[in-house]
Structure 1
Amino acid sequence: MVEGSIMSYAEVASKGPKQSPEEAAAPQPPQVNQTTASSTASLVDVDSPSVHTVPSDYPSQEIKTDTQAARVEREEEAKRKKEEAERAEADLAKKKARAAAAKARRAEGWLAKHFETVSEGGTAGALALANIVAVVGLSGWLGFKAWGLYDRGRLGWREAGIGLGVLGAVGAVEGVFVNYLSHAKGKQQ
């Protein structure tokens, strides 16, 4: 062998002391000793009622443990919070309804005030007021219907198109009516 050459592992192992056949053999795997008395003692009997089975009248039984008391307390707290949230929601709905009613009263007052000033101007003023009332009334009614559909989750492009069609038809009829009245008024003067 040349100095400085690298030896393989097999060459190095062959130069060392020889092992006996017992030392060279792999160790024996551990053996499990079974006894018939302990083999089935730890198994759960599936035919008998299990510890995990809860009777159907469990919530109505008297409280015997801290865990049961804590559960009942949590359930009562959740019920109380739910009732408070429902009351708060109902109060908010009442406030919104009152605010909407107040806004409607203010709008009525504004319309009544303008009706007085327009009606003093003659038939043209009355015609303009009728036009405003018709547009506001129809728009309000269609808006209310659309809001109801939206609230129930049924407002779609079809319903919006029908609403716009109604507004367009009323506008066309109103335009023809106003044109007719203005021509009739022009002929009378």
Structure 2
Amino acid sequence: MSYAEIASKGPKQTPEEAAAPQPPQVVTSTTASTSSLVDVDTPSVRTVPSDYGEQDIKTETQAARIEREKKAEEIAAKARAEADLAKKKSKRAAKKADNWLTKQFESLSDGEGGALVVVNFLAVVGLSGWLGYKAWGLYDKGRLGWKNVGLGLGILGVVGAAESLLGG
């Protein structure tokens, strides 16, 4: 038996009972009271005068605030000075390193062929070692393929060709 069949066997409702209840109505005859709101034109609203910061110190709280502001300004000035000094030191260090590197390249180009050969050898061994390390990592993860091997050999070939052109 379905719900509709069971409901049809029960007592019958009157139309008033079957109708939905009426929604509550909004009463518009009362007005909202604005007497509790603050009026900005009345003297009850307090504002700070524009010359407040220049007034004489009258309380300990003001004196403490001014002292904290002075300390904060001193700390900020000290931090700016330290940052400028650090920037100057880093520029000097970079210039010193650049000068050292320039001297090293000049000494290599003064006919010291043995040093150039050693540098080239170390560069090739270092690059080969790094590529081998990367290849071993790919092999360990099971992702080493012919594409990776070809890319590594291509890098070695380009570096070798560049060194033979520049070194010769």
Is the pair's TM-score, using the shorter chain for normalization, greater than 0.5?
A: no
Q: Normalising by structure 2, what TM-score?
A: 0.43
- Looking at CA atoms only, which structure, 1 or 2, has the larger radius of gyration? 1
